[in-house]
């Protein structure tokens, strides 16, 4: 198995995010990558450093005006006469949730605070001095993983950080600034006629869903905690099945709060069955560990062993698989989760 990671992904070091009305220390800390790299070393996998792809792959998914904002926001922020340590919004525009629309028009003003409220969807996506560089490199890691499959590999792992699956075409949220899984899926369409994204992070992959919601060339499946009780709250329900050409090509599999391994693995199996029924020729597996019972954001009771079992199930797909790293914030367990998952995935492939 080939793996990819760029050390610049660790220099994004957010200082704060809002939770339950309190400014808290960030969960997406650079130490996450250290533990995942240790897990790869235990498996004898040496990650390769991706080449510099620039903004090209990201622009296949994200609006140019949004990427322009991400790239320039911090430099403009520190020029303000009064500013905090990171770029954060204090106003949010209304979005009507129209599923027929790909994205909004550009922000109608170039005033920085207005753009910040327009492009940052919550208080979990602060932009610091090194955020853009880490985000861009994370997109390169996903692209390199996709290219490995295009070159004939059957398995690859993209150690993406920051994560991506909450990011829309033109809006960051939930620790996510570019949608790495979507960028990889789009890249895979250069060779494969049908691509699927199966997301098993605890949170609904709302950004990925919206990006592909009107399309049938990418099936999106998300196994996540029921959004009636869990962030992102406003999407991820079973009636959301796609729109227009994409009708029937989006599947949500909500898990009840406090569910355990059996419920989680049943959801994973349902997702695998949907990928098979679709006839996918390649799969992007969006992997998060925030379902783990010890995760600070968890509402379910999934254990480390369940990730090994999930890897074993996915190893039976017999199509090329790119694993893209998403969430998981309990640093003490994520390495073991990845190690077990990849070991079983490789043994079954």
- The active-site residue, picked from 166, 203, 204, 224, is 166
Q: Is 97 left (phi over 0), alpha (psi -120 to 50) or beta?
A: left
* Two tokens, residue 67: 């990427």
* Two tokens, residue 222: 């998300």
Helix axes 261-278, 304-314, angle to 10 degrees: 20
Distance CA 274, CA 268 (A): 10
Q: Is 91 exposed, middle or buried (0-12, 13-18, 19+ CB in 10 A)?
A: exposed
**For this structure, is 258 an active site residue?**
no
Distance CA 67, CA 57 (A): 12
- Give Cβ neighbours of residue 92 (< 8 Å, ≥ 6 apart): 117, 121
Spacing of C-alpha 323 from chain mean position: 11
In the chain, alpha helices (H): 31-42, 56-59, 64-77, 112-119, 131-150, 180-188, 206-212, 261-278, 304-314, 331-348
Are 208 and 199 spatial neighbours (Cβ–Cβ below 8 Å)? Answer: yes
Among candidate residues 72, 239, 76, 98, the one with its CA nearest the CA of residue 168 = 98
Other beta carbons within 10 Å of 208: 31
* Two tokens, residue 14: 């957010």
Are 257 and 240 spatial neighbours (Cβ–Cβ below 8 Å)? Answer: no
Among candidate residues 69, 114, 64, the one with its CA nearest the CA of residue 93 = 114
Catalytic residue list: 166
């Amino acid at each position: 198995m080939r793996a990819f990671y760029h050390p610049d992904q660790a220099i994004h070091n957010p200082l704060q995010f809002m939770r339950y009305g309190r400014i808290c220390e960030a969960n997406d800390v650079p130490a996450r990558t250290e533990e995942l790299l240790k897990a790869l070393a235990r498996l004898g996998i040496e990650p390769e450093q991706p080449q510099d792809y620039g903004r090209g792959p990201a622009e296949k998914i994200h609006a140019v005006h949004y990427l322009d904002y991400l790239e320039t926001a911090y430099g403009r922020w520190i020029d303000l006469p009064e500013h905090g340590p990171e770029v954060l919004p204090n106003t949010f525009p209304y979005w009507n949730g129209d599923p027929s629309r790909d994205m909004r028009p550009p922000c109608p003003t170039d005033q920085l605070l207005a753009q910040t409220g327009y492009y940052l969807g919550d208080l979990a996506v602060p932009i610091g001095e090194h955020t853009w560089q880490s985000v861009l490199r994370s997109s390169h890691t996903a692209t390199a993983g996709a290219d490995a499959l295009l070159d004939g590999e059957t398995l690859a792992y993209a150690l993406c950080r920051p994560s991506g699956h909450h990011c829309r075409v033109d809006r960051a949220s939930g620790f996510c600034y570019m949608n790495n899984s979507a960028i990889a899926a789009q890249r895979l369409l250069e060779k494969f006629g049908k691509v699927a994204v199966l997301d098993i992070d605890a949170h609904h992959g709302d950004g990925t869903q919206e990006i592909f919601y009107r399309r049938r060339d990418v099936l999106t499946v998300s196994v996540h905690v029921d959004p009636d009780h869990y962030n992102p709250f406003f999407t991820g329900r079973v009636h959301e099945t796609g729109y227009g050409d994409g009708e029937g090509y989006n599947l949500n599999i909500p898990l009840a709060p406090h569910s355990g391994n059996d419920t989680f693995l049943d959801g994973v199996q349902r997702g695998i069955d949907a990928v098979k029924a679709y006839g996918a020729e390649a799969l992007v597996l969006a992997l998060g560990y925030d379902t783990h019972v010890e995760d600070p954001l968890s509402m379910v009771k999934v254990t480390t062993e369940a990730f090994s079992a999930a890897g074993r199930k996915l190893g039976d797909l017999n199509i090329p698989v790119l694993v893209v790293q998403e969430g998981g914030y309990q640093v003490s367990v994520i390495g073991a989760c990845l190690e077990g998952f990849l070991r079983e995935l490789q043994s079954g492939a």
